[in-house]
Amino acid sequence: MAMNYDRLLVEPQGEICWVRINRPDDRNSIDSPLMEQLHRLLDELERTSVRAVVFTGAGPTYFIGGADGVEMMRLGPEGARDFSRRIQELFNRMERSPLLLVAAINGLCFGGGFEFALACDLRLAGQTARIGLPEVKVGIIPGGGGTQRLPRLIGVGRAMEAILSGQLYPAAEALELGLIHQAVPSEDLVKEAAARLSRFLRLPAHALGLAKRAVKASQYYDLPAGLEAEAAEFSRCFENDFFRNLMREQLNQGILATTARTEDSKEAS
Active site residues per annotation:
115, 135
Q: Are strands 100-105 and 62-65 parallel, antiparallel or unpaired?
A: unpaired
Backbone angles phi, psi at 170, to 5 degrees: -65, 165
Task: Count the neighbouring beta carbons within 10 Å of the beta carbon of residue 131.
Answer: 27
Give strand ranges (E) for 127-243: 130-132, 168-170, 182-184
Query: How far apart, in whole angstroms, are the C-alpha atoms of residue 5 and residue 161?
Result: 38
Buried b (16+ CB within 10 A) or exposed e, 54-87: bbbbbbeebbbbbbbbebbeeeeeeeeeebbeeb
Rounded CA Rg of the chain:
21
Buried b (16+ CB within 10 A) or exposed e, 184-212: bebeebbebbbebbeebeeeebeebbbeb
Query: How far apart, in whole angstroms, are the C-alpha atoms of residue 63 and residue 124?
Result: 11
Local structure of 252: helix, strand or coil: helix
Q: How many CA atoms lie within 13 A of 160 on its CB side?
A: 3
Query: How far apart, in whole angstroms, are the C-alpha atoms of residue 219 and residue 41?
Result: 25
